[in-house]
């Protein structure tokens, strides 16, 4: 059976691809992430995903970056969780549509491997898209391999990003870093 695996990044693809192959799927990655900012970060993650998939003998389809699509979809939705829900629905909707149009048997997403994402919301979005796009959703809780994939990624010298990808998460990460720095400075004086 052919699986189209929405791939947000190479580290998250490791466990998902292993599990899908163990469940007798022929895995093809689908790199569709118009949310990733800046473009240099997008390119870095795309190259790492290509490197990983190639090393495993798997195909990876890379869609256009289309950052404008992301910003149009989330316009006015800059708060959490609404912004994330719109982003997931956009990316997973594109994945389900591509899978259905191109005769894949099922689709899934590496987002189900992150301990930082709303797992149940992502699952619900995929289940809804499965019905609406008439394509099977392959569900598995890929979080079980979260710690291992980061060890494997380091061993294979695969880039591990430190934020979700969108400009908002990048800013939020920077704000948390600065707050920690200020807290550390306050405690050390």
Res. 188: pLDDT tops 80:
no
CATH of 2-160, one of 3.40.1710.10, 3.40.50.620, 3.30.300.30, 1.10.1200.10: 3.40.50.620
Res. 64: pLDDT tops 70:
yes
Neighbours of 58 (CB within 10 A): 18
What is the pTM assigned to this prediction? 0.92
Res 125: pLDDT:
98
107 and 99 Cβ atoms separated by less than 8 Å: yes
Quote the CA–CA distance of 79 and 142 in Å, as a whole number.
27
Facing residues of 27 across strands? Answer: 3
In terms of Cβ atoms closer than 10 Å to its own Cβ (0-12, 13-18, 19+), residue 2 is: middle
Average pLDDT over residues 5-11: 97
What does the block give as tokens for 100? 């259905």
Res 94: pLDDT:
98
Average pLDDT over residues 48-56: 97
Res. 79: pLDDT tops 80:
no
Per domain, the residue ranges of the chain are 2-160
Q: Phi then psi for 187, rounded to 5 degrees?
A: -80, -25
Q: What is the pLDDT of residues 15-27, one digit of tens each?
A: 999 999 999 999 9
Res. 189: pLDDT tops 70:
no
Res. 162: pLDDT tops 70:
yes
Res. 149: pLDDT tops 80:
yes
Q: What is the pLDDT of residues 104-139, one digit of tens each?
A: 999 999 999 999 999 999 999 999 999 999 999 999
Mean residue pLDDT across the chain: 93
Which residues have a Cβ under 8 Å from the Cβ of 6 and sit 6 or more positions away?
30, 32, 91, 92, 95, 107, 108, 109, 110, 111
Res 78: pLDDT:
65
Which residues have a Cβ under 8 Å from the Cβ of 37 and sit 6 or more positions away?
67, 165, 166, 167, 170
Give the alpha-carbon dihedral of 110, 112, 115, 116, to 10 degrees: 80
Cα separation values, 85 from 15, 20, 95, Å: 23, 25, 15
């Amino acid at each position: 059976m052919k699986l189209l695996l929405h791939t947000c990044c190479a580290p998250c693809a490791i466990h998902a691809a292993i599990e899908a192959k163990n469940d007798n799927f022929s895995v093809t990655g689908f790199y569709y992430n118009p949310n990733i900012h800046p473009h240099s970060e997008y390119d870095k993650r795309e190259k790492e995903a290509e490197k990983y998939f190639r090393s495993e003998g798997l195909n990876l389809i890379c869609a256009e970056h289309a950052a404008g699509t992301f910003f149009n979809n989330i316009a006015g939705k800059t708060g959490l969780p609404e912004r994330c829900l719109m982003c997931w629905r956009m990316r997973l909707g594109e994945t389900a549509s591509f899978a259905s149009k191109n005769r894949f048997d099922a689709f899934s997403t590496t987002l189900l491997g992150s301990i930082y994402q709303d797992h149940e919301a992502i699952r619900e979005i995929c289940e809804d898209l499965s019905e609406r796009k008439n394509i099977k959703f392959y569900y598995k809780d890929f979080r079980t391999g979260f710690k291992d994939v980061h060890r494997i990624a380091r061993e294979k010298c695969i880039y591990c990003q430190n934020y979700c990808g969108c400009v908002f998460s990048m800013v939020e990460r920077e704000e948390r870093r600065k707050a920690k720095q200020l807290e550390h400075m306050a405690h050390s004086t």
